[in-house]
Chains A and B, each alone.
Chain A
């Protein structure tokens, strides 16, 4: 197996990229802060005793706006990419993405219920609305995925092909339900729904961040432990079974981790497409299909990509803002095509 870069080089490169992304995400924004102020405010936020004189604005923008946003981007990007690897490993198909088991469409349905239902019942109080939306999206994603998994099981065996088809059917069903809610929605509700479907890291706050950080840290620590099993699964299900892998247990874990991770990410930031499909691809093109490299490298690459995309989202039209889903596809897709064509030559 020839790869473009050695794993060690890849990890060093991605770690540097990630640090750069974090720094830029903290340092750049529509409000231009002097670089020195940003650095001093950042150090102060880390608890170093630095004279707060003249730092109020920098500290506020860094601490209350950019830091939660950066953390949200890291968690969402990382967990989406990781779930992409899990799904592509599970279906043994590089075209699989986390949406395949119904988690995205389920979350969209949950969000539609919360947004449109909320406005039909006379509008929700501002304090409850956003939390209810996140909760409904999370429950919707988890619920539909559980149903897809259940439909794929027969006689104690999970048939991946059946699961895939059940996922497609339930995605269509959820899509039509969302369509019905779209029809019932009034103009303003409709726009909220549309924007939610494009995703955004805007308005991140610590209180809504913690659940996602916990979930994504859990998933990011758990899935790499299954790297060897995923490698074995590449050979085929029965082959993996002969190698002593508990294939049924592995499938259950992969589906559960994806539902949990993507559900939480979507609940916090809305639908952000493309990351889950393409980041694992990119890493595989660079470093080959070994899951021991692929899993952790995808976390770093996904997190960095999302932070860079968010920089474009917040700077391109400042003081207005682009939905990040537009940006991820717009910068990611051509780059992916480039790698694809270069790899072929």
Chain B
């Protein structure tokens, strides 16, 4: 008889528990991925974040949250001390033994892909929306994003029909010092292509470059992303460090533009379409003028 009661209690418990779980989305979130943090904020979950990693720099308010360190070098006890219910991050999150410990402590660990393409983003947003209990908003955000990118694509196709794609180099630096050039297989390369530019660098990854090889490339446009300085300070520092850049067609025609380096990590973020639009206007100035 007693066995029977406990069995019933067990079954009832099993039936009731998942239901209780679904109606109550997790309230304490830790995010280990810059773009993911931005999406959580865009989905209205910012107040649920209790900790973020060092790649999470946007929106401005998350900088005030406790930092769990670099996404690849997380600490199990550090994360647990924030008493999170969910830990989200990209496949770059680690090390794996720490994730196993966090999982072992009953925290839901959710991995997302950082692939920069739309189907991945769609999956990620759906997943995030479900976790946050805001699926409608997630769908809406994705549709808007897709539209913006498609619009962008057709505008560039139109522009390229009238004007050759400009040769671009993207320099990633720290206070101007020893800038690296973005080559193939980088987020920066993908971004340049989406904005309609032609990346002149042919190597893979971010590599330092010789002044001589740079002079031979003669880029039409230079894009720089600086981790320490912004605006004119970064531009001045860069030209001081690499005077040869001043002799490029890009510098002569004043076509040197800035890019926020946080856009280059962690997959597609919500600020991307806007940046792409700005870049493509700079790549195809004649188009922008003729447009109403």
Chain A residues close to B by CB (< 8 Å): 29-32, 57, 60-61, 64-66, 126-127, 129-130, 183, 185-188, 191-192, 195, 200, 202-205, 208, 314, 317-321, 323
Docked-complex contact B80 and A30, CB < 8 angstroms: yes
- B80 and A320 within 8 A (CB): no
Point out the residue from A64, A130, A192, A319 that lies within 8 Å of B104, measured CB to CB. A64
How far, in Å, is A210 (CB) from chain B's closest CB?
A: 14
Q: Give residues 47-102 of B contacting A (CB, 8 Å).
A: 51, 54, 66-70, 72-82, 92, 94-98, 100-101
Question: Closest approach, in angstroms, between the C-beta of B194 and any C-beta of chain A?
Answer: 20
Please give, as numbers and ranges, the residues of chain A lying within 8 Å of B54 by CB-CB distance. Answer: 320
Query: In the complex, A129 Cα to B35 Cα: how many Å?
Result: 26
Shortest Cβ-Cβ A-B pairs, 9 listed: A320-B69, A319-B78, A30-B81, A203-B97, A321-B75, A203-B98, A31-B81, A126-B96, A30-B78
Known contacts A203-B95, A205-B97: A314-B77 contact under CB 8 Å: yes
Q: Is B96's CB under 8 angstroms from A130's CB?
A: yes
Q: A126-B96, A319-B51 are in contact. Are A191 and B82 (CB under 8 A)?
A: no
Complex contact B104–A61 (CB within 8 A)? no
A204 vs B98: C-alpha distance when bound (angstroms): 8
Distance between Cα atoms of A339 and B52 in the complex (Å):
41
User: Interface size (B, Cβ < 8 Å)?
Assistant: 34
Tally of A-B Cβ pairs under 8 angstroms: 99
Q: A102–B105 Cα gap in the complex (Å)? A: 40
**Complex Cα–Cα for A208 and B95 (A):** 14
CA distance A195 to B70 in the complex (A): 10
Residue from the set B70, B73, B81 with the largest chain A CB neighbour count within 10 Å: B73
Contact A29 B77 (CB under 8 A): yes
- Is B166 engaged at the interface, CB distance under 8 Å to the other chain? no
Contacting pair B80 A61 (CB below 8 A): yes
A-contact bits for B226-263, CB 8 A (1 contact / 0 none): 00000000000000000000000000000000000000
- Asked if A318 and B101 sit within 8 Å, CB to CB, the answer is no
The secondary-structure label for the interface of chain A is loop
Q: Once bound together, how far apart are the Cα atoms of A267 and B166, in whole Å? A: 49
- Evaluate contact between B81 and A321: CB separation under 8 angstroms: no
Residues from chain B with Cβ under 8 Å of A317 in the complex? 67, 69
Residues of chain A contacted by B69 (CB below 8 angstroms): 317, 319-321
CB distance from B71 to the nearest CB of A (A): 9
Q: Give complex CA distance A32, B185 in Å.
A: 44
A29 to B105, CA, bound (A): 15
Q: How far is the CA of A130 from the CA of B74 in the complex (A)?
A: 15
Report B89-126 residues with CB < 8 Å from chain A CB: 92, 94-98, 100-101, 104-105
Decide: A319 and B73 in contact? CB cutoff 8 A: no
A325 smallest CB distance to B (angstroms): 13
Chain A hits for B94, CB < 8 A: 126
Asked if residues B104 and A195 are in contact (CB atoms below 8 Å), the reply is no
Does B206 touch A at the CB level, under 8 Å?
yes
- Enumerate chain B residues within 8 angstroms of A183, measured Cβ to Cβ: 207
Whether A321 lies near B78 (C-beta < 8 A) is yes
**Contact present for A202 and B75 (CB under 8 Å):** yes
Report the separation of the CA atoms of residues A218 and B67 in the bound assembly, to the nearest whole angstrom.
Answer: 40
20 additional A-B residue pairs with CB within 8 Å, beyond A61-B105, A64-B104, A314-B77: A30-B78, A60-B105, A61-B77, A64-B101, A65-B101, A130-B96, A130-B97, A186-B185, A187-B205, A188-B92, A192-B72, A195-B73, A202-B74, A208-B97, A314-B78, A317-B67, A318-B81, A319-B69, A319-B82, A320-B75
Say whether A186 contacts B104, CB under 8 Å. Answer: no
CB nearest to B104 among chain A residues: A64
Q: Show 25 A/B contacts (Cβ-Cβ < 8 Å), sorted by A.
A: A29-B77, A30-B78, A30-B80, A31-B77, A61-B77, A61-B105, A64-B101, A64-B105, A65-B101, A129-B96, A130-B95, A186-B205, A186-B206, A187-B206, A191-B72, A195-B70, A202-B73, A202-B98, A203-B96, A208-B97, A317-B69, A319-B67, A319-B75, A320-B69, A323-B73
Which residues of chain A are near B97, meaning CB under 8 Å? 130, 203-205, 208
A14, chain B: closest CB distance, angstroms: 27
Contacts of B73 in A (CB 8 A): 195, 200, 202, 321, 323
Chain B residues with CB below 8 A from A319, complex form: 51, 66-69, 75, 77-79, 81-82
A318 (CB) vs chain B CBs: closest residue: B78
Contacts of B186 in A (CB 8 A): 186
Contacts of B75 in A (CB 8 A): 30, 202, 314, 318-321
Is the pair B205, A30 in contact by a Cβ cutoff of 8 Å?
A: no
A30–B66 CA distance with the chains assembled, in angstroms: 12
Q: How many Å lie between the Cα of A195 and that of B94 in the bound state?
A: 12
Which residues of the other chain, A, contact B185 by a CB distance below 8 angstroms?
186
- Which residue of A31, A129, A195, A200 contacts B80 across the interface (Cβ within 8 Å)? A31
**What residues of A have a CB within 8 angstroms of the CB of B70 in the complex?**
191, 195, 320
Given known pairs A30-B81, A60-B104, A319-B51, the reply for A203 and B76 (CB within 8 Å) is yes
